[in-house]
């Protein structure tokens, strides 16, 4: 059981390091606004997350729902130390991945906001203003106030 848990923890640590590298690459692609490359990279990110979750599940099943650190406390020191170090590496990796994912999310939301404001500004310039069909002086006139106002006119 020790070998299964250690190997699973080792795979998790390597997967988190790879995931961090992929998220850094995604950040660079976001800065360069290369959306096609980002979409392709997202498939790899999701697959690594899926595999990491499967590895965590394997450890949980191997320990019958117990915790790795509790299991390490029951082992002799020469076996417990590598498990504790690997567990610490995984924790550090998860924190680094979390920080990078938050950074990516913040940048992508900022780019979305910027694109939305640009699109709204361009749409506002392209769409002609609304016109009132019959004005007080006859003919077409532009609405000075788009909100509700007192109506004046002739019968």
pTM: 0.74
Summarised one tens digit per residue, pLDDT across range 24-51 is: 999 999 999 898 899 999 999 999 999 9
Within-domain flag for 16: yes
Within-domain flag for 17: yes
Within-domain flag for 22: yes
3-class DSSP state of 131: strand
Within-domain flag for 150: no
Summarised one tens digit per residue, pLDDT across range 99-129 is: 999 999 999 999 999 989 998 888 888 776 6
Alpha-carbon gap, residue 16 to 91, rounded angstroms: 10
Domain with 28 in it: what CATH number? Answer: 1.20.58
Summarised one tens digit per residue, pLDDT across range 70-95 is: 888 998 999 999 999 999 999 999 99
What pLDDT score was predicted for residue 130?
58
Q: Spell out the residues 6+ positions from residue 67 whose beta carbon is closer than 8 angstroms to its own.
A: none
Within-domain flag for 127: yes
Alpha-carbon gap, residue 154 to 24, rounded angstroms: 68
The domain in which residue 95 lies consists of: 2-142
Here the tokens at position 126 are 């392209």
Within-domain flag for 155: no
Within-domain flag for 65: yes
What pLDDT score was predicted for residue 138?
56
What pLDDT score was predicted for residue 109?
93
Within-domain flag for 153: no
The better pLDDT of the pair 150, 28 is held by 28
Here the tokens at position 54 are 């499967």
What pLDDT score was predicted for residue 81?
94
Count of domains observed in the chain: 1
């Amino acid at each position: 059981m020790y070998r299964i848990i250690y190997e699973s923890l080792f795979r998790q640590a390597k997967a988190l390091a790879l995931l961090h590298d992929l998220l850094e690459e995604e950040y660079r692609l976001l800065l360069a606004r290369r959306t096609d490359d980002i979409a392709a990279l997202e498939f790899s990110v999701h697959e690594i997350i899926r595999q990491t979750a499967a590895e965590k599940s394997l450890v949980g099943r191997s320990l019958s729902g117990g915790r790795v650190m509790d299991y390490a406390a029951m082992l002799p020191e020469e076996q417990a130390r590598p498990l504790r170090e690997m567990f610490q590496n995984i924790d550090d990796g998860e924190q680094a991945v979390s920080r990078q994912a938050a950074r990516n999310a913040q940048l992508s939301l900022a780019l979305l906001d910027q694109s939305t404001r640009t699109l709204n500004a361009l749409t506002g310039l392209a769409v002609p203003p609304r016109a009132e069909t019959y004005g007080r002086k006859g003919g077409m006139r532009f609405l000075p106030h788009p909100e509700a106002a007192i109506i004046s006119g002739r019968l």
